[in-house]
């Protein structure tokens, strides 16, 4: 199945795509992409959260990359709230930190290989060690840190292609990772690329996740903010309020007025 053309279950939140599907379907599709290359460019799985949407409003090339991905999964409670406000409830929170380990477990069971790209070298090395402890026969065929220069990019791609992983986890942070995947998909000898943000920081044990009750309550972002206030303050203090204000405004401004405005903007 190819989702490059948005499927009926795709919705657009402030212009950015989200596929409103359940975990089982998302997992089946991701493993399908990894296992059946069919001579296609590397497939792409992205995760849309409030930060992605805010970045995409500022940076249309990011919006373009996400909207053209093969699968775009909903990440976080902000999207749940927006879905409810727009009358299209989000079925499941499929954030990368919880979803990717399930992909890796399925990869282990199906003998699919994995390459880890991103984060600082020490972290990605610890991440591999922890993953092998957790999934003893997972085939991790290579890794590379995420602080390479544009001049080194060719060597990084050469190394990935030599290993031909079925699954490439790209942890370079938004928007770099989405653009990197989109720019290189045709050059990568890979089944599927997942844009996984700070996943290796968690899996290496460098950054601890919020307690289960906070995750269940949808307030993991408060914990993340308290852990790294200097890195995350913009997301919490600016992006979340702006996102909610825009969603509410879009909901209450009459559709007709909005369409006239949108047409005027399009004609500009």
**Given the rule CB under 6 A, which residues bind ligand UDP?**
51, 118-120, 146-147, 171-174, 197-198, 200-201
Q: Distance between CA 39 and CA 172 in Å, rounded?
A: 26
- Cβ nearer to ligand UDP, comparing 67 with 112: 67
- Cβ nearer to ligand UDP, comparing 140 with 171: 171
**What is the nearest approach in angstroms of ligand UDP to the Cβ of residue 124?**
8
**What is the nearest approach in angstroms of ligand UDP to the Cβ of residue 251?**
26
- Cβ nearer to ligand UDP, comparing 42 with 170: 170
**What is the nearest approach in angstroms of ligand UDP to the Cβ of residue 119?**
4
- Cβ nearer to ligand UDP, comparing 29 with 46: 46
**What is the nearest approach in angstroms of ligand UDP to the Cβ of residue 216?**
21
**What is the nearest approach in angstroms of ligand UDP to the Cβ of residue 173?**
3
Torsion angles phi and psi, residue 215, rounded to 5: -65, -40
Q: Distance between CA 26 and CA 101 in Å, rounded?
A: 13
Taking CB atoms, the residue at the shortest distance from ligand UDP is 146
- Cβ nearer to ligand UDP, comparing 99 with 200: 200
153: Cα separation from own chain's centroid: 21
- Cβ nearer to ligand UDP, comparing 112 with 221: 221
**What is the nearest approach in angstroms of ligand UDP to the Cβ of residue 47?**
8
Q: Distance between CA 55 and CA 109 in Å, rounded?
A: 36
């Amino acid at each position: 199945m190819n989702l490059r053309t948005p499927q009926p279950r795709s919705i657009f939140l402030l212009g950015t795509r989200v596929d409103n599907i359940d975990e089982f379907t998302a997992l089946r599709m991701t493993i399908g992409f990894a296992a059946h290359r069919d001579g296609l460019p590397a497939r792409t799985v992205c995760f849309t959260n409030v930060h992605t949407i805010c970045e995409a409003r500022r940076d249309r090339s990011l919006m373009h990359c996400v909207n053209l991905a093969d699968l775009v999964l909903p990440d976080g409670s902000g999207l749940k709230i927006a879905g409810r406000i727009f009358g299209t409830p989000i079925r499941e929170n499929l954030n990368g930190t919880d979803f990717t380990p399930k992909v890796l477990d399925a990869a282990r069971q199906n003998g699919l290989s994995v390459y880890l790209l991103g984060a600082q070298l020490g972290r990605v090395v610890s991440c591999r060690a922890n993953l092998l402890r957790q999934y003893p026969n997972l085939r991790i065929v290579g890794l590379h840190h995420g602080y390479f220069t544009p001049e080194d990019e060719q060597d990084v791609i050469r190394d990935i292609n030599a290993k031909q992983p079925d699954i490439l986890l790209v942890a370079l942070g938004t928007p770099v990772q989405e653009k990197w995947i989109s720019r290189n998909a045709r050059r990568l000898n890979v089944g599927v690329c997942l844009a996984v943000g700070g996943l290796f920081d968690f899996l290496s044990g460098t950054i601890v996740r919020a307690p289960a009750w906070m995750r269940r309550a949808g307030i993991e972002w408060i914990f993340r903010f308290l852990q790294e206030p200097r890195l995350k303050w913009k997301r919490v203090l600016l992006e979340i309020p702006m996102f909610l204000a825009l969603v509410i405004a879009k909901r209450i401004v009459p559709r007709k007025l909005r369409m006239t405005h949108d047409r005027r903007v399009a004609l500009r």
